[in-house]
Amino acid sequence: MGLVLGLAAGLFVLGMMVGASMRARWSLVLILFAAVLLIQLTLPPWHPLRMSTGGSPAPWLIFGGMVVIGLLYARLVRGLKARATEKEAAEAPAEPDKFREGELERYARHIVLRELGGPGQKRLKEARVLVIGAGGLGSPALLYLAAAGVGTIGLIDDDTVDSGNLQRQVIHRDDHIGMPKVFSAEKAMLGINPYITVRPYKRRLSAEIAEDLFSDYDLILDGTDNFDTRYLVNRVAVAQGKPLISGALSQWEGQISVFDPGNDAPCYQCIFPEAPAPELAPSCAEAGVLGPLPGVIGTMMAAEAVKVISGAGSVLRGEMLIYDALWGETRKIRLKRRADCPCCGVSQA
């Protein structure tokens, strides 16, 4: 047996000396092993050739089995290591200026747009957007921001999904009833685009956390349905110089504007100095709302966000777009800053 092993080693070294490939060298060793096994299985026990190569096939079968097990184990380890490396690479955050494999094809319809192109898509990837509210307006906005490739999306909401939401809040599903809205939305967003980062905050936005939270983001989308939160969002966005995209709904009508005093546009409080009386602005629960209407306005909010981030087109700064779904009418009105605005007026500068 030692003679055969020595011959195998000699063949391997000889192949190395003549520059044979690793595969060719191992092929020679395998041929030698097959020949020895054939001798052990076909020649009679007393044959000199069989005696000189071990005398019995058993040691060779055991040896061959051990080699096969070793090779299979090595291959398994290599495969597991390769899979772990691929998974780590896929889950690792990409460098801000680089797209990961598969992203360019995903965003191809954006990249071919002359107004957006590769530079615009890169700005989307690097952007950080905070959406306040994962309800009627937040649902379509979050879905389209995720699909568009906005790199980091934060969402804050303290509510849970209930069956009454599903008529219009399309990011949630029936089997998510009882789940916090931010986690239900996170599942849907990552299901659409696993290349983005989603930051869910299951809590109510308050004055105590708003400043620190907003400081992590470049752009704010307000999809809330109460005036106290709207004024808080506007105040902090103005203080930090962050553009604010705001949408609102009432029964059959929706409106959207980009409030951005840093670019000479009015802020929310310029247009709505005080909250209206409760009976003049009933909630959706009290007055009702057409199911597709939040989808129209929320999608417009996402479109404005893409334009603000990429610099494409004309943004609704200093303008309010109003959509009347009942009569199929859309109109825009001009908005102006107020010098006496308690939030962004000259006296506050």
- Residue ranges of E strands in 275-336: 319-324, 329-334
Tell me what the mean pLDDT of segment 31-57 comes to: 72
Q: What count of residues does the chain have?
A: 349
Tell me what the mean pLDDT of segment 65-85 comes to: 78
Distances in Å between the Cα of 269 and the Cα atoms of 20, 138, 263, 347 are 80, 21, 16, 14
Domain 106-348 - what CATH class?
alpha beta
DSSP-based three-state secondary structure for 66: helix
On whether the pTM is more than 0.75, the answer is no
Residue type, 59: P
DSSP-based three-state secondary structure for 201: strand
Q: How confident is the model at residue 90 (pLDDT cuts 50, 70, 90)?
A: low
What share of the chain has pLDDT > 70, as a percent?
82
Considering only CA atoms, which of 210, 251, 250 is closest in space to residue 228?
210
pLDDT tens track for 286-305: 778 999 999 999 999 999 99
Q: Which residues pair with 245 in a beta bridge?
A: 221, 258
pLDDT tens track for 197-230: 999 999 999 999 999 999 999 999 999 988 999 9
Tell me what the mean pLDDT of segment 37-65 comes to: 72
pLDDT score of 74 more than 90: no
pLDDT tens track for 187-198: 999 999 999 999
Distance CA 129, CA 150 (A): 8
Tracing tokens 């959406």 back to the chain, one arrives at 131
Q: How confident is the model at residue 58 (pLDDT cuts 50, 70, 90)?
A: confident
Q: Where in the chain is the domain with CATH 3.40.50.720?
A: 106-348
Residues 232, 205: contact at Cβ < 8 Å? yes
Residues 155, 196: contact at Cβ < 8 Å? no
What share of the chain has pLDDT > 90, as a percent?
61
Rg over CA atoms, the chain: 34
